[in-house]
Chain A
């Protein structure tokens, strides 16, 4: 069974802090994604990666960056956290293009 693990379930950070959200998958998937979920807006794609050291912007990349140094790990970075980045962040991976995504349990980030 595919396991996508997000390192933190809850995080509280201050405005201006640099924040790292970590995601690890154990199925050797090449494709990994970061979404954020907000009430009334559904899930919106921030960044995705098709291979190590490769990244592409999603629909809402502003204020975020990503790092994919190893195949199993995909990190989301908030360079300078702001209150409008308070959200549920969801990481996902997929075995091949066109297959359903497997999601982690999410990290609820609060920026004060």
Chain B
């Protein structure tokens, strides 16, 4: 049972344009959501997070949007840069279980073309 789902295995965008990565979840107990970025041969690195009490969080070129009613979140990268090319994982946790026990999506490979 995949509780966190990233339906797009890959996404290709031009440098300077917007990248939008999507994530859906099914567990209504999830109240904290994170995005991680992973380069080949490296571990995932934390990118940005959002609590369920918010619907938007912004950090530089990265913005995460949360739509609780739709159980959907998205990561916007503007403008996209070639160095953003990586696999992006969406993750979620529920305080009622174990706060840092994360459930990850399958990942989306983003390619930003120069």
Contact = CB atoms under 8 A, between A and B. Distances in A.
Contacts of B43: 4, 90, 92, 103-106
B82 interface: no
B107 A42 contact: yes
A99 interface: yes
**Chain B, interface SS category:** loop
B99 A98 contact: yes
Interface in B58-114: 89, 91, 93, 95, 98-107
B42 A48 contact: no
Given A41-B106, A42-B105, A43-B89, A105 B100 contact: no
A102 B106 CA distance: 19
A45 B44 contact: no
Contact of A40 (B9, B89, B98): B9
B54 to A, nearest CB: 15
A79 B2 CA distance: 27
Contact of B45 (A43, A45, A94, A103): A103
Contacts of B93: 98
A94 B99 CA distance: 11
Best-buried of B36, B43, B93, B101 by chain A (most CB within 10 Å): B43
A31 B100 CA distance: 9
Contacts of A101: 44, 46, 100, 102
Contacts of A59: 103
Contact of B44 (A41, A48, A90, A99): A90
Interface of A: 4, 9, 31, 33, 35, 40-45, 48, 56, 58-59, 90, 92, 94, 96-106
Given A100-B34, A106-B41, 18 more contacts: A4-B43, A40-B106, A41-B106, A42-B6, A42-B89, A42-B107, A43-B102, A45-B103, A48-B101, A56-B98, A58-B101, A98-B32, A98-B95, A100-B46, A100-B49, A101-B44, A103-B44, A103-B45
10 contacts: A31-B100, A35-B104, A42-B104, A43-B102, A90-B44, A98-B32, A100-B46, A101-B100, A103-B43, A105-B41
